[in-house]
Amino acid sequence: MTATTATLQTLHVDDVHHVVPTVQGDLTLLHGASFTIAAGETAAIMGRSGSGKTTLLSIVGLMLRATRGEVVIAGQPTSRLSDAERARLRNQTLGFVFQGYSLVPHLTAAENVALPLSYGPAVSSAERRAAAQLLEMVGLGHAARRYPRHLSGGEQQRVAIARALVRSPGLLLADEPTGALDVATGEAVLDLLLDVARARGTSVLVVTHDEAVAARTGRRLLIVEGRLSEDQAACAP
């Protein structure tokens, strides 16, 4: 891969297989998944419950090692990296949004957004300002001092989105980000996530089984029993 293509590809997944041992013998959860996400691209991974979506997202998010295949993030092949190197790359290049918000209950909204900054080098005043700005961007500047228990589900997910973007990741990974919200709130939160990510040039890979969520992204990948393909039906006129 040349340096130019590497910088244009936020993510390259090459022939990823994942096999887990079970009492009945080895179970293959992923059968050679391959795809590329370009810089600034938004895509959805769709599939039924149990098809392997979360397994694939965990591998892309460097939380799980694939049995075979390669995941290249921002031009960096990851399969041979140590756990510490993978953790560093994850903190530098990836942001995460989950269904359950996963905010720290005893920290305010502003403190939750700034939390990822504390994992790296000392926080600069510019980074603190950026965290405050992000809270404004998700429409919660007025709620900076509130604790998660005093925010609605939609508001908590907006805080989680701001937190995921605070270190300016190249790629945002979202696993069923609207799954715990009612339809209207979910749509508003997803639109916000995509708008804020686009404004910052961040690629987005969202796992969902919701057609309405997938329709808002630029591209759909379909996973059926661990086999991934482009969703051609979605591309049809």
Interface with ligand ATP by CB under 6 A: which range of 50-58, 68-76, 98-106, 154-162? Answer: 50-58
Considering only 2, 4, 24, 49, the residue that binds ligand ATP (CB under 6 A) is 49
Q: Is residue 126 helix, strand or coil?
A: helix
Q: Which stretch binds ligand ATP (CB under 6 A): 42-50, 80-88, 158-166, 184-192?
A: 42-50
Applying the rule CB under 6 A, the residues between 164 and 203 that interact with ligand ATP are: none
Q: Is 18 exposed, middle or buried (0-12, 13-18, 19+ CB in 10 A)?
A: buried
d(CA 22, CA 98): 27
Q: Least distance (Å) from ligand ATP to the CB of residue 29?
A: 5
Closer to ligand ATP by CB, 137 or 222: give it.
222
**Choices 3-11, 43-51, 69-77, 117-125 (CB under 6 A): range interacting with ligand ATP:** 43-51
Q: How far is the CB of 45 from ligand ATP (least distance, A)?
A: 9
CB of 223 to ligand ATP, least distance (A): 7
Helix, coil or strand: residue 179? coil
- The radius of gyration computed from the CA coordinates of the chain, to the nearest angstrom, equals 18
Q: Please identify, among the stretches 48-56, 93-101, 129-137, 154-162, the one whose residues bind ligand ATP according to the rule CB under 6 A.
A: 48-56
Strands 42-46 and 203-208: parallel
Of 169 and 226, CB closest to ligand ATP: 226
For residue 120, the tally of other CB atoms under 10 A from its CB is: 12
Q: Reduced to 3 DSSP states, what percent helix, strand and coil does the chain have, rounded to the nearest 5? A: 40, 30, 30
Crossing angle of helices 183-199 and 125-137, rounded to 10°: 140
* Residue choice 50, 77, 100, 201 for contact with ligand ATP (CB under 6 A): 50
Interface residue list for ligand ATP (CB under 6 A): 20, 22, 27, 29, 47, 49-55, 209
